[in-house]
Structure formats: C-alpha cells, structure tokens
Structure 1
C-alpha cells in the first residue's frame, strides 16, 4: 500500500479501477475486498486518521449465519434471523435488501477470514436488542474482532484513530468488556488478578515506546486489522487529509472525481466504480437541520470527518435518499464534559451504568420516563420526547462505587474534578439533589421510592425494566436482587449526571439496490456509483435491532459493491 505524503505525489493522469471515499470500517472493507479482486484502488480520507467512528465503536459486526454463529448457537438459522428482522423492521426497509444481507453475510466473513488479517469471535452471550420478538437469539450473530497487536503496523500505527480517551485507562490502555470484568474482580479471583497483571505489564512496556497502548480491542482492533490487511496490497493507494471537490458523470456513469488537499487539486479517472463511504450526513449543517431539527451537533459522539460534503456531490450526480424509517439516525444517551485541552468529551452511555441496580433516569419533572435497561437507541428516542430533551441519571453512593456513572469510574474515588466542573452533581439528600438540578423534589423522591419498592418485588410494572433477555444481560446478576436491573437507592450521598440525545450514526442514506449501487430518481442504478456504511440507506429502517447493525451491513455490502464493480467493463 502506498500512503501519499502529499496529493502532489499523485500523477496528473492517474486512474483507478475503484475509488472509495471515506476510510471508516465500511470504506476500508470495500477497499480491501476490491484489492483482493486485483483492482487498483484509491482510498480517500478527509482526516489524518483511518477508522472513522468504527475506531471509536465496540467494533461488533452483526452478521447472522457465519461459522462463528454455529460454534456458539448451532440451532440458529437464517430463517430465524429473517423472521426477527421482519418482526423488528417490517416495511420500514425493503425485505429484498435484508434478504441479500443474510444471503451473503457468511460469504463476506469467509473471504475476510480466509484471505486477510481480519478475524472474529462470537461473544458467548450477546442478545439481539429486541429480544422478546420472535426469531431473536441470545448469541451467535454478533461477531467481535479479535484483539490486535498494533505493533505489527509499524510506521502505520499512528494512522489508526485513537480511541475516545474516556474509554481508556491509565493514559491510553484500551479495555474491552472481558478486561473490565477482570479489572473489577482484581482482588476477588486469581484468574482476574493474573489477567489484570498481564494487561498492566503490556501497557507499561508500550508506554516506553508509544504514546498509547498497542493492544487494540473493539473497533480499534477491527480498524487495525483492516489497515494491516490493506498494507499488504501494492495495488492500494491511501490519500489522507483529502476531500472530494467534484464528481463527474457522463453517459456511461461515473467518469472521474476531483480531489483537493491544502489548495492542491488532482482529477483522477474512475474506470469501474466510486464507492461512497463518507460516514453519513450527520455533520453537514443544512442536512442536520433538515433531518435532525433541534438536535445539537455538540451532542454527536461520532468521530469527526463525516461532514456530508460528498452527499451534495452525489445528489448532483443523480443520487437520492431512501424513504421512510423509524428515525433518520441511530441514537444513544450521552453526557458531556470539557477536557483540559478545551475539547468537549461526548460520552455515550451504552451499557456500563444506566441499566444497573441502584441507578434510574428521570426527566425535568423528576419522573421516570423510560425503561433504563432498553437499548440505547430506544432510550435516546424516549429522551427526545421529554420537555427540553432534558434528563438525568441518578444513583446512590453504593451504585457509584460498584458501576461508576458516565465518565466517572467505578470505585468512588477521584470525584473532585467531576464535581468541580459540574459534570457530576452530588447532594446528601434527594431533596437537596433535586434543588441542585432544578427538579421538583417531591417527584424525584417519589420516583426513587417507587424504584426502591420495585427492587423489593423484582417487577417494574411501569416500564418493565429487566423483563427481557437483553435487559437482563445489561444488568448485574451478582447484585443479589430479584431482578438484575433493579436495586434500591438508599446510601447517601446521591449523584446525578445530565443526559442528552446523541446521534451515533445515520440511518437515512442513499437508496441502493442489492449490489449497493446507488439509485437515481427513476430508481434505476447510476452506473459505477455505490454507497455503503452510513452513506447507504439503512436496511434496518431506523430500527436498532442488534449490536452495531451499521457495521455488519457495511461490511457485507462493501463486499457486494467491490465484487460488482470488479466485474464491470471499464467506463
């Protein structure tokens, strides 16, 4: 792989079989699949890092029917997966596209694992998010990338987008769910002690030579594996800090595109195809205003780079957005805090706190409004329906020590900076906490009293917290209660963190067919134009059905787009 130090290093008459715009997970996968087909590939990324939001994500790739699925859940079938998606999504997306995803998912994973450095495992228990629907399953469909040794990348290692600092420990050490459980159990079992010691020793060695840990997990591991695989192909060129200024289309389809970098321009010919994988519309000011009115861009926890600039160019070439969907974006509740360097940390509350015993969510009226153990997508959609879209996670001292809250780590230590800047609010009584949050004290006290009663019975008649397999997997079965998601709030002081609805990715994108070809206004394919990842209209119809259901379809349709483009006659 050639990494361009400057756009001037690209000859004026350059041409490529496939140009991929955007080096997130889906874009890197499209470039890799095309390289495997022997195509000359140009991968264009407008930032200085590869990985996009995938690098900040859990890296889970939801693809049913793979060999990994059979290893942990041999009774699961694609018929079951289809039934689940039909029940969850219904008519919000074309059933034919969902079927294509299911038909080719295992094949895409086989190609990656047999011919590249990308390798997965099935987590022992990782339920579909709407686990009470027919066809859902508790495990096997969600694939996680194996941890990756970033040292194998050599000089390319700094190109991998670093993880969100608040998701690391000890100055840049990445940890996944398995690591967290061992670190929390450090003093309780020899197995956890041994695991933790290995992590700490490796990180200490890393920090002698690198600015952060080189043991990559979750999304960073997937991005590292994709980059390592791409680096082995001489037919791949990577252009960083480069934007697309113009897309030229003729009667035969996409002809060329003009790139710009620091005032330099190059027009490159496109022989077979252009793949849009720029990350979605979310940071485009006008598109955001049109599709996500009232949602501040400051609440978006996704990586920078998806400015939506390529969308206007694609629309000029005839592309249009797909219709319908539960929501134009996928969501998570987030909290915000200013970092010492002046940047704002936006922290998604995926799984570590809100569904745990001793924690509840209340709105500006001091009332519960949501099942705290539901998916982050549904939680944030409910949050948007609250007055001023304002809500708080509230917990007692016991829950804070055991689980932490937001950016506050478990253990209950080091709270002073969070209290000083107002990220964490503390009070000795619920009445005093309500006063600090400007909530009606009687309502907050009643909400806590109610959840305390429900913890005794193990049943939440208002929101059914802890009533599904997905919810229970988010809880703490070791807490000793009748319901792993319910526990009382009794031990002072009490704490709260402000929540906002944050868009974690686009659901609305360009309408495509089963080969990821972008459709024109007449619903016929635009020759040579493809869209994958968040640039493609989601096959999930705005429904968050399972872990990271953007990345699974992103990989599968990247495979189909690259395969179709390779078979095209050059334009």
Structure 2
C-alpha cells in the first residue's frame, strides 16, 4: 500500500526522476537546466536501459536539423501523416503536444547540452500516406568518444547486445560493415578497417570494450556526459518501491537501495521512467498475446515498477491500442554457456530479394519487407509464431541472414548450433520445419512468378517506399525486394515476435501528468518514456517513434514541473510564453 503520510527524515528535492533511460535522463537534465534541484534514481548499476541497446534513431518531425541536412521537414505534413496512420484511435492531444514541442526540445538539447543528433537525408517513414517523409524526421545520435567520460562513468553506460559487437566489444555502423567484411577489396576499405579495428585494439589496453560509441550507446553516453556537467546526482542500484501521497497528491517516493529504504520528498513531483511493461509478468500475462510473453528485448531488470507503484495509488493504465507492445521478429539460439543469443531482424535480410517467410503450413502470410513491427504484427494476426525465413544458398552468400554474416562465413557453426536449418531439397526442408512439402513447393513457385514479373499480387512486396529502401536495387531484378529462389541447399530460420518497447502504459495528459481512473491528473506524478502509454496507440509510424516521444515528453515534463510550460490551470510570465509554445 502507498504511504499516506510524510515520514520523518525525508530528503528533499524539487524533482525526483525514477529511471535512467532516454526519457528519464532527458527529464532530469532539462529540469536541472531550468534551475530545479533534481535527483535521478536508477534501479541498476548502469544507465541507458533499452535505449543503450537500440539503434538510437529518434523520430522528431520539423526540427532545425532537417533543414541543416537539406531535407526540411514540415510539422503540418507530419500531422497529416499521423492522422492517416493513427486515425481515430485516440491520443490526438498528446500527439499535437509532441508535434508542437519537438523542434524546441531538440533545438534546446542541441544548443545547451552535449546531446547531438544529425537528421538522416534518407531514412523513410515506415508507412506510405499523406505527409510521409523520405528523410529529415529520423535523427541519428552523433558518435561519441567514451574516453570523455571518467573510467567509472564509461562503465556505467550499459553496453549494446553482445550479438551486435565485433571482436568482443567493438561497435560498427551499418555503412562500415561492408568494408570490414572485405578489407582488401579497396584502399578505402582497408583504411576504414585499420582505423576502426586499430582504435579498438588500443581501447582494449585500458577499457573492457571499445570507446567509439554509436547509435543508442552514443545517445546514452551523451546524456550521461551532459548530466555530469549539469551536476545532477545519480543514485545507482536504487529503484522506486512506492509513492508517498498526501491529500491525494504525490509528494515523494520510497526508494529501495542496497543500504535499505530511502525516502525522498519531491516538491515539484516524481517522474516515472522505469522502462514500461517489459518483464512485468502480471502485465504480460494480462495484455500480451500467446507466443509473445516469454522474451523481451529490454533489460531483465525492467519489471514494470513505474506501472505498479502508480496503479497502487489509482493511476489509469492503458492497453496500448492496436497492440500492447512494439515488436521485432527475432531469431535466437543457446550458446554453449546456456545464455540466449537473440538477433532482431530489422533491415538487413527480410526485404532483400530471394527470401520469403512462411507460417506453420508452409505458406506466406505477410509482406516480408514491411517494418519489423508490421511483420511481427502479421505473425501475431495469423498465428505464425514461430514463422520461418526461407532462402537458398545464393542468398545466404550474398546477404547472410540474422547472425550469419554475408559470405556465410559462420554458416557451419550456426547450423551445428541449431540456429539455422539446412536441407538439400525443399522437401527435406519442409520436413525439418514441419510444414506441408506441397504447400512449401507451391509457395516457392508462386514467389518465383512474382519475382519474374516484379509484382507481388499477394502481399504487395516492394510496393512501398520503405520496402524499396531496404531492398537491393543493385540486384538487377524488376523489383528490389523480389528475386528468384534457385537451387539448393536451402535454409530456414525461426523468428518470433519480441517486444522492443511498450505501447501499453500509464495514461497521461499532454504534459506527461499521470491520470487517475476518472481521467484527472494526479498532482505531482509524471511519466515519460515507456512508462507513458504510446501516443501512437499501437501503430509504428517510422524509425525512432519510441525514442522521439521519450525525449520530447521528458522535455515537456521537466518544463511543466519547472513552471515554464503552461497548463489550463496555470499561468506563465510573458517572458516564458514564446519558448513554451514553440
């Protein structure tokens, strides 16, 4: 039960932020820039949460960075796009707040902190429609030199998933993979390889992993670096256990640390940013469909603490609209030490010509080139859990699949580990994946007809902008996402939906204030990041549509707590009005 009185011996701050992912770190940082006394409490020994293992792409329409990149983006276009994608699913007021504050939030972080992004000139939205953009909205964190952090703080940055690290600890960008796989193909490739690998080897003389940080790791490190500059105290291994309530208002929280309970009073409020549903068993059992409850991509320490403590005082919890989570199809296998290696199939294989996916009957069920979320939603809708990605040997050599590298360099080891299934004939493959051989043969025949014509009449593969962007225009076919399946051997890889982020979450208003069962704000309680229900209501409009709202609502929460973002019951000085409405 929540505490209903003010315990003796409370520490006191203006704002207490619980959770050091992108949303919580942003809220703490901006609140400090606004002059508030802030404490950031993190349940684990490291910052970053799910953000640190992500690509770090952050979807924010209409920023000054899109203009600098030469692909100026319009908030009006983004509004029309979201109206077509989300339609009448609700949440319009929060989306409008996101759209109208995005530019100001990114500009302020860029101007006043070391959180730096660059807009991608080419990184299209995941769905076609009015107002969809090809570039400008997806912001990528600029690489960060981890040596700028103290040795202790560098160790505090949660590393990426091991599957995404080369040589045991080296981060590599998507555009650099080709050079590293073929270092002697050109002078440019050799120079790139020497610079990246050589720098990594020098790092390992002093650090446990490479200090050249990219993607989500770069974003997290930049936030931590900025928090240290702003002198924001961070309490590690300190999670939220309950909220302190007085006269219906949240006035602080009880935290659980190794040394015991720690009670902190928060004059301006408590911010919940603990990572969302993730590994919360009760919420997963209640909300998640069969076949999706056993594995999440977030840290195992993300156990839905924010939702639990908020619901204990009467906060409303939303189911997420179309889906309780945002998904990625993932393949996996057990390493010799018993740990699970997991690979999210994001962009490198599903859209390439010559691969298709089948359900348990051996039939296609979805446009394989759609976004990872929409592919996984197709799995869930049709019961294709698991599904199998299928290709021939030529595809495997050219593109690889999952954790198998192009050139099939590690193919034998992966077959032995049971990660990928190999068969000389389609009939043999059908037996190994337990589907109807005739159905699989008919699927290959139909797929090859589509590859020859360039038109997928069944699922429209290659018909959308993002399909073609992730395909291979150099393949020589009529459709960059379709290519013939030729002679064996053949390969199949099982994929299952795993949640990368929550869509379900605490109900909030446009300022990130958590709402009670009657839809009224609970004074003193905020949420952002995955703890706040997704403003896109279970849809996934484009790359980074989890991190974009996390940062923008972290910014809005901090501004509102500081009194520099007006609500219907408050007033601001004229000096603050212009910034608040940007």
Query: Aligned-pair distance for 1:447?
Result: 1.3
Paired positions, count: 557
Query: Aligned-pair distance for 1:372?
Result: 0.4
> Which residue in the other structure is 2:481 paired with?
485
> Which residue in the other structure is 2:64 paired with?
67
Please identify, of 288-297 and 527-536, the stretch whose mean Cα deviation from structure 2 is larger. 288-297
1:230 aligns with 2:227: yes
Query: Aligned-pair distance for 1:495?
Result: 0.9
**C-alpha separation in 1, matches of 2:426 and 2:455:** 23
Q: TM-score with structure 2 length normalisation?
A: 0.92
Query: Aligned-pair distance for 1:187?
Result: 4.5
> Which residue in the other structure is 1:191 paired with?
188
Query: Aligned-pair distance for 1:387?
Result: 4.0
Please identify, of 506-515 and 321-330, the stretch whose mean Cα deviation from structure 2 is larger. 321-330
Cα pair 2:473 2:480 within 8 Å, conserved: yes
What is the DSSP-based 3-state SS (H/G/I as helix, E as strand, rest coil) of the residue aligned with 2:374? helix
Cα pair 1:56 1:303 within 8 Å, conserved: no
User: CA, structure 1 residues 193+481, in 2 after alignment: closer, same or farther (shift >3 Å)?
Assistant: farther
> Which residue in the other structure is 1:436 paired with?
432
1:272-296 per-residue CA deviation (whole Å, 9 max, x = no partner) reads 1111111111311111100104234
Query: Aligned-pair distance for 1:12?
Result: 5.0
Cα pair 2:16 2:271 within 8 Å, conserved: yes
Please identify, of 215-224 and 385-394, the stretch whose mean Cα deviation from structure 2 is larger. 385-394
> Which residue in the other structure is 1:494 paired with?
490
Residue pairs, 1:326-475, within 5 angstroms: 326-387=322-383, 389-475=385-471
What is the DSSP-based 3-state SS (H/G/I as helix, E as strand, rest coil) of the residue aligned with 2:129? coil
**C-alpha separation in 2, matches of 1:346 and 1:22:** 25
Query: Aligned-pair distance for 1:346?
Result: 2.3
Query: Aligned-pair distance for 1:388?
Result: 6.1
Cα pair 1:301 1:334 within 8 Å, conserved: no
What is the DSSP-based 3-state SS (H/G/I as helix, E as strand, rest coil) of the residue aligned with 1:499? strand
**C-alpha separation in 2, matches of 1:339 and 1:93:** 44
Query: Aligned-pair distance for 1:402?
Result: 1.8
Query: Aligned-pair distance for 1:195?
Result: 2.2
1:279 aligns with 2:241: no
1:468-526 per-residue CA deviation (whole Å, 9 max, x = no partner) reads 11101111112221111111121422111111111111111111111111111222211
What is the DSSP-based 3-state SS (H/G/I as helix, E as strand, rest coil) of the residue aligned with 1:139? coil
**Structure 2 residue corresponding to 1:172, chosen from 153, 169, 173:** 169
Cα pair 2:320 2:533 within 8 Å, conserved: no
Q: TM-score with structure 1 length normalisation?
A: 0.94
1:319 aligns with 2:315: yes
User: CA, structure 1 residues 12+409, in 2 after alignment: closer, same or farther (shift >3 Å)?
Assistant: farther
Q: Which runs of 5+ in 1 are unaligned?
A: 1-10
> Which residue in the other structure is 2:197 paired with?
200
1:301-320 per-residue CA deviation (whole Å, 9 max, x = no partner) reads 22222201231211122211
Please identify, of 102-111 and 314-323, the stretch whose mean Cα deviation from structure 2 is larger. 314-323
> Which residue in the other structure is 2:101 paired with?
104
Residue pairs, 1:65-104, within 5 angstroms: 65-72=62-69, 74=71, 76-104=73-101
What is the DSSP-based 3-state SS (H/G/I as helix, E as strand, rest coil) of the residue aligned with 1:243? strand
Please identify, of 319-328 and 264-273, the stretch whose mean Cα deviation from structure 2 is larger. 319-328
RMSD over aligned Cα, in angstroms?
Answer: 1.8
**C-alpha separation in 2, matches of 1:43 and 1:255:** 16
Query: Aligned-pair distance for 1:424?
Result: 1.0
> Which residue in the other structure is 2:27 paired with?
30
Cα pair 2:71 2:135 within 8 Å, conserved: no
1:113-162 per-residue CA deviation (whole Å, 9 max, x = no partner) reads 111111011122100000x2111010000000001111111221011111
1:166-207 per-residue CA deviation (whole Å, 9 max, x = no partner) reads 112121111122222443564444333322321111112112
What is the DSSP-based 3-state SS (H/G/I as helix, E as strand, rest coil) of the residue aligned with 2:469? helix
What is the DSSP-based 3-state SS (H/G/I as helix, E as strand, rest coil) of the residue aligned with 1:432? helix
What is the DSSP-based 3-state SS (H/G/I as helix, E as strand, rest coil) of the residue aligned with 2:233? strand
Cα pair 1:52 1:304 within 8 Å, conserved: no
> Which residue in the other structure is 1:19 paired with?
16
What is the DSSP-based 3-state SS (H/G/I as helix, E as strand, rest coil) of the residue aligned with 1:173? coil
Please identify, of 302-311 and 316-325, the stretch whose mean Cα deviation from structure 2 is larger. 316-325
> Which residue in the other structure is 2:546 paired with?
550
